[in-house]
Amino acid sequence: MWFVEYGQEGGRRQPMKFLAACVAVMAVMLCSCGDGHGSMLPKSGGRPYEVLVLSTGDGNASGMINSILSRDVDGLPQPEPLFDVSLTDSIHFNQVAKLARSIIIVNVDSGLFTMTGIRYEKNVWARPQVVVYINTPSCNELQTVLPDMANGLVNLLGRFELNASMSLLTAGSNANAGAMVDSMFGCALKVPADMKAFKRGNSFIWVSDNAPGGMQNICVYSYPGVELSAQRALYVRDSVMKENIQGERPGSYMRTSALTVKSGTAVEHGRTVMITRGLWEMEGDAMGGPFVSHSIVDSSRRRIIVAEGFVYAPGMKKRNLLRQLEASLYTLKLSK
């Protein structure tokens, strides 16, 4: 459990730039800290990325949290919210509601709190579960500090869901696909168990579930290099996909919608990862969807290894499909 408190001192509001960092630390701690509860808890309910928000004292607080969690996800062809939010109150917060996988409880009480604080606990009434407590003296105070805590709160809930998905992969993944990736690229990657169809190419493998509705795909490929470059990665992606993924119509092939691409870096497994998001489309055919890729440097072999997930799900929501694939990408690491 972690606790952050902030507010005023000496009549002046103190800088709160540290808040987002503190809540980000909370997200990292989700990976390692114990929950302090027994292992006999019931299984949590609901779908991934569903959040239940309870407000005590002032119902307006729930709406403030909802506005943050309902912002659009980057990199999808149609608007979808970061989380699916449900609002409740103390009267309806019963034993069934307590089984929700992600819960935010906002306590508004000027008699109990002089400043706003935030903490979380894991597996309080069910597992896997995260319960975030936000204590504040008033909605005005909460509204003032909310911009500083917004990204940290989103990251905390997102990391919880990511860890939950990665735990499922650890419990059961496609061992044959993982072995092929290891044999071809010298790296470990946990591939979802239901992705059994595959195609090999030159330093390329494509694994898919071939689902008739909401098809999920993972590609792994490599190219020479020792530095991560977003511009070069985009060029290589288009070249690799044109060679290996063709459409049903003659002459059609996958390419990147360049104007939609966003790239950044993170550190996973002690190694810098370039994360790229955007939309793909089929040249010469009416197909497309979102993709996300993770690129790492294999210094000993002077090459870049890319693991990418992409979704083809016309007429369907794509957020959870893509995030399931991204959980697999987070398992990418060089074999020892």
Strand pairing report for 303-312 and 288-298: antiparallel
Per-residue pLDDT tens over the stretch 173-183? 999 999 999 99
Kindly give, in sequence order, each residue whose CB lies less than 8 Å from that of residue 38, ignoring residues fewer than 6 positions away.
Answer: none
Say whether both 136 and 240 belong to one domain: no
Structural domain ending residue among the three candidates 113, 141, 170: 170
Kindly give, in sequence order, each residue whose CB lies less than 8 Å from that of residue 234, ignoring residues fewer than 6 positions away.
Answer: 256, 258, 261, 276
Per-residue pLDDT tens over the stretch 58-69? 778 999 999 999
Say whether both 161 and 210 belong to one domain: no
Domain span at residue 318 reads: 174-334
Say whether both 121 and 210 belong to one domain: no
Say whether both 136 and 57 belong to one domain: yes
Say whether both 30 and 131 belong to one domain: yes
Per-residue confidence at 336, pLDDT binned at 50, 70, 90? confident
Residue 25 has pLDDT above 60, yes or no: no
Q: What is the DSSP string of 167-185?
A: HHHHHSB-HHHHHHHHHHH
- Provide the token pair at 302: 């002077």
Say whether both 209 and 277 belong to one domain: yes
How confident is the model at residue 3, as a pLDDT?
A: 40
Q: Which residues make beta-bridge pairs with 279?
A: 257, 290
How confident is the model at residue 1, as a pLDDT?
A: 40
Summarize the confidence of residues 249-260 as an average pLDDT. Answer: 94
Identity (one letter) of the amino acid at 202? N
Structural domain ending residue among the three candidates 127, 147, 170: 170
Residue 85 near residue 62 (C-beta atoms within 8 A): no
How confident is the model at residue 144, as a pLDDT?
A: 93
Say whether both 56 and 184 belong to one domain: no
Per-residue confidence at 27, pLDDT binned at 50, 70, 90? very low
Per-residue confidence at 35, pLDDT binned at 50, 70, 90? low
Tell me if residue 207 falls in helix, strand or coil. strand
Per-residue pLDDT tens over the stretch 70-108? 999 999 999 999 999 999 999 999 999 999 999 999 999
- Bond prior to 128 in cis (omega within 30° of 0): yes
Length of the chain measured in residues: 336
How confident is the model at residue 83, as a pLDDT?
A: 98
Q: Is the dihedral of CA 237, 243, 246, 249 positive or negative?
A: positive
Place of tokens 């511009």: 231
How confident is the model at residue 120, as a pLDDT?
A: 96
Q: Please give the residue that has the higher pLDDT: either 229 or 38.
A: 229
Angle between helices 17-29 and 139-171 (to 10 degrees): 30
How confident is the model at residue 59, as a pLDDT?
A: 77
How confident is the model at residue 212, as a pLDDT?
A: 87
* CA end-to-end span of the chain: 33
Domain count, the chain: 2
Residue 19 has pLDDT above 60, yes or no: no
Per-residue pLDDT tens over the stretch 196-228? 999 999 999 999 999 988 999 999 999 999 999
Structural domain ending residue among the three candidates 134, 152, 170: 170
Say whether both 23 and 150 belong to one domain: yes
Say whether both 146 and 293 belong to one domain: no
Summarize the confidence of residues 147-159 as an average pLDDT. Answer: 94
Q: Which of 308, 305, 320 is nearest to 277 (CA)?
A: 308
Residue 262 has pLDDT above 90, yes or no: yes
Residue 72 near residue 81 (C-beta atoms within 8 A): yes
Residue 151 has pLDDT above 80, yes or no: yes
Q: What is the mean pLDDT of the chain?
A: 89
CATH code: domain of residue 292: 3.40.1000.10
Say whether both 76 and 186 belong to one domain: no
Per-residue confidence at 6, pLDDT binned at 50, 70, 90? very low
Say whether both 83 and 232 belong to one domain: no
Identity (one letter) of the amino acid at 121? E
Per-residue confidence at 138, pLDDT binned at 50, 70, 90? very high
Say whether both 144 and 254 belong to one domain: no
CA atoms within 13 A on the CB side of 122: 23
How confident is the model at residue 42, as a pLDDT?
A: 96
Summarize the confidence of residues 187-197 as an average pLDDT. Answer: 96
pTM for the model stands at 0.87
CA separation for the pair 18, 89 (Å, rounded): 31
Angle between helices 319-329 and 139-171 (to 10 degrees): 60
CA separation for the pair 138, 143 (Å, rounded): 9
